[in-house]
Amino acid sequence: AMDFRDAVLRSNEEAQRRRNRREALDKAKTHARNGNASAANECYARAVDVTPEMARDVVEALRREGFESLTAPYEADAQMAYLARNGFVQGVVTEDSDLIAHGCASVFTKMQPDGTGIEIRYEDLGKNRGMSFVGFTSEMFLEMCILSGCDYLPSLAGVGIKKAHS
């Protein structure tokens, strides 16, 4: 059960997401007026608010095609991570790349209309060229992600991913 503090944090997060969607819509309209269709489409995608009706339509379409689906009660991160960590699914398709920090072995994100995107595999973090994760434990990686900003806490002033990594 969510306690009062969690509810306030989630409420603040939702308010920030609404502001971000409004800003993205404004940017999309500006790009469209300036003839930059690619940038406009990218901003329009960030401006979309998925409604319960939209989610229901997707679930019904999946069911008609013979696919099972689960609906998380609120945030799906923990549920998807549980399914991945326990072998019920091999990976997760999401716009939320932080699922690696939740313990998903494979996350497919930033999917384009043609189906391409980015796969992030936990086992490949040690091969990262920008920051070295050699010797990092899963706890160290999670702590780095939390320090650099997460859904449940406000970001720490002056602490980005590089500082959190060090």
- Token code pair at residue 117: 């995107």
**Per-residue pLDDT reduced to its tens digit, 38-52:** 888 888 878 888 788
**Per-residue pLDDT reduced to its tens digit, 60-115:** 998 999 988 877 776 788 888 888 889 888 888 887 767 888 878 888 888 877 88
Q: Cα(67)–Cα(16) distance, rounded to whole angstroms?
A: 33
Q: Is the pTM of this model over 0.75?
A: no
Residue 17 near residue 50 (C-beta atoms within 8 A)? no
